[in-house]
Amino acid sequence: AQTVTQSQPEMSVQEAETVTLSCTYDTSESDYYLFWYKQPPSRQMILVIRQEAYKQQNATENRFSVNFQKAAKSFSLKISDSQLGDAAMYFCAPLGGSNYKLTFGKGTLLTVNP
Amino acid sequence: NAGVTQTPKFQVLKTGQSMTLQCAQDMNHNSMYWYRQDPGMGLRLIYYSASEGTTDKGEVPNGYNVSRLNKREFSLRLESAAPSQTSVYFCASSEHRGSSTDTQYFGPGTRLTVL
């Protein structure tokens, strides 16, 4: 079974600065995928970024990038040049296992201060 | 493309009433999912349908039934609603469950309150 830990229930960042959200997970699988989803106050779950565990290169999507440390089972999300619209709850979610389950962490609430 | 749509957006039920949540996707995805989100929690899988004609239980299936009506539509039914089913319900879809294209895209959610 997979477990996910997001150790920062809340984070804040100044507009235009950089923030890193932490995520660690536990899995016995060698082949899996990792996702970050964003949930703004509108409640919509929005895909931010995806990482394949077999790839050594860290995924990037515009201002969003990850630091994937497979041996440490760590998958952090870096948001550069933070914008007010980045304010949301962020969920880390590994996908894998025999039942291909997407397991969500409890989330980190990000506040962006103007 | 609308992506994943859900109806209704909000619903209030009394204990014991039944209702069906509707979900449709226009991305030609094979796999569809129903999740619930409770306060302070991530999402938990209720049921999924890996392909048209199949459904399987997820983590928290008790009290729910599902129907994969066709490739586009996947409904969730509460036969006898209970206050413990008060939650936000999300539908999601992905191209192929268990493959490299298993990236899930979510609908806007339905907020359900059971009194």
B47 token code pair: 């049921």
8 Å CB contact of B44 and A104:
yes
Is residue A37 packed enough to be buried (19+ CB in 10 Å), middle (13-18) or exposed (0-12)?
Answer: buried
8 Å CB contact of B106 and A45:
yes
8 Å CB contact of A106 and B108:
no
Phi-psi region of B109 (alpha: psi -120 to 50; beta: other; left: phi over 0): left
The rounded mean pLDDT for chain A is 92
Q: What is the DSSP letter of A14?
A: E
Of A12-21, A28-37, B20-29, B79-88, give the lowest mean pLDDT range.
Answer: A28-37
Mean pLDDT of B40-67: 92
- The minimal CB distance from A45 to the residues B90, B97, B103 is found for B90
Q: What is the DSSP letter of B39?
A: T
Q: What is the DSSP letter of A73?
A: T
Q: pLDDT tens digit string along A56-65?
A: 899 999 999 9
Neighbours of A30 (CB within 10 A): 9
The answer to whether the CB of A35 falls within 8 A of the CB of A47 is: yes
Mutate to test the interface with B, among A89, A102, A104 (most CBs of B within 10 A): A102
The rounded mean pLDDT for chain B is 93
Mean pLDDT of A77-99: 92
Any idea how long chain B is? 115
Confidence of residue A1 (pLDDT cuts 50, 70, 90): low
pLDDT over 80 (residue B56): yes
8 Å CB contact of A43 and B43:
no
The answer to whether the CB of B23 falls within 8 A of the CB of B6 is: yes
Q: Is A4 touching B (CB cutoff 8 A)?
A: yes
Per DSSP, the residues of A21-69 read E--EEE---SS-EEEEEEE-TT---EEEEEEETT--SPPEETTEEEEEE
